[in-house]
Amino acid sequence: RYALSLFAPVQLTPNVGVRQTYYTKDIQGNPREGKRNVVSGQFSTGIDSSIKFFRIFDVKTNKFGLNIDKLRHILTPTVEYRYVHEPTVPNSLLTFPSASAPNNQVVFGLENKLQTKRTNSDGYDTSVDLARALVEVPYTFAGKGNSDGGTLGDWNFKVELFPWSWMRVESNWAYPSHFTKGTRDRRLQAWTLDMVMVGGPDAPGADSTSSVSAPSPTGYEQGREDQLVFMPEGQWALGFGHRYSQNDKTETVAQFDWRLSEKWQVGMFNRYTWKEVSGGAKRYNHLREYQYSLRRDLHDWVGELVYRVDRELGEEIFFLLTLKAYPELPIETETSYHQPKKGSQTSPFSPAR
């Protein structure tokens, strides 16, 4: 990836990549069958382009504690081209597939951002985001798997609000580009709303806290989407999230994290399903999951003990050790109990069915 400034003020960033994954054997049969020593390769490339326009408004007010010292509106049109080639070995032949789906599309976007100027803790003026709105729509070119011609994808909208330093509000939703008139397809396909509030000493900022969990608008994977985030001592973060997916689920999640001391941090996570649809079955008002965690700072490492209850999958206790330099590679050991026995699970809402 390399940023080019050949056509200023248009910013161009081309990228190219190759991914190679080695497998001792494919998925076919026992170790004496199937192909051995398989390498699955995949090529990808693309280019991002953008241009910025801005205007400054001479507005100064502290009404409602907003602390606004001038406003800057930034308008950024973007065009992104993405191409991902088919892998040399199909994912269907591999036990642990890693290749992405083939893709050949261009994404058009428009970002609006509203900023103000505030004095930071060091006494210097700095730009602070107040609001950000982004709309994107992809166009997929004709090709294999899309023989009918190019298609325009769903419109994706994202809004972020930072009215005060201690609060962050985010919302995402999707609206179909194509729908059948007279049907319910014109409704929103997926919608999310998150709100994070922080408190404690040293004027904490909500922009640096982790997002509310259960981020996917569809699928709703169990468990919180945890990140290796240690807040300053004495600070806390409270988050609420609401998820809606058409003909699927409506859920609310809540989480709370508190840095008790220099070494210890506690956390809580709950997931409540208001409505869930699976085939012809429906379920209402169901406390689907809750989780409690205790985290300790071990200097170069972070240790975490988690107790989680999922009404469909049973109970679980697990311990993680994470090297701060590589938070994406934790060492984990876990014990599960009270799990539904294999063959006895009859709930149509179970992800394990």
- pTM of the predicted structure, to 2 decimals: 0.77
Mean pLDDT of 9-29: 89
How far is residue 126's CA from residue 138's CA, in Å, rounded to a whole number? 34
Cβ–Cβ under 8 Å, residues 27 and 93: yes
Alpha-carbon torsion (314, 302, 324, 261), positive or negative: positive
Q: Which of 67-71, 154-158, 224-228 is predicted with the least confidence, judged by mean pLDDT?
A: 224-228
**Percent of all residues in the chain with a pLDDT value above 70, rounded to a whole number:** 83
Outline where the chain has alpha helix (H). none
Give me the pLDDT at residue 272, please.
Answer: 92
Please check the confidence at residue 47 and state whether its pLDDT lies above 90. Answer: yes
185 three-class SS: helix
- What residues form DSSP beta bridges with 281? 278
Residues 183-207: pLDDT tens digits? 655 667 788 999 999 998 876 677 7
| pLDDT range class, residue 265, cuts 50, 70, 90 | very high
Over residues 294-314, the pLDDT tens digits come to: 999 998 999 999 999 987 778
At 265, the amino acid letter reads: Q
Residue 279 · residue 350 · CB < 8 Å: no
**Mean pLDDT over all residues of the chain?**
83
Q: Considering only CA atoms, which of 202, 199, 189 is closest in space to residue 157? A: 189
Asked whether the beta carbons of 264 and 221 are under 8 A apart, the reply is no
Do the Cβ atoms of 82 and 14 come closer than 8 Å? Answer: no
Residue 85 pLDDT class (50, 70, 90 cuts): very high
pLDDT tier at 156, thresholds 50, 70, 90: very high
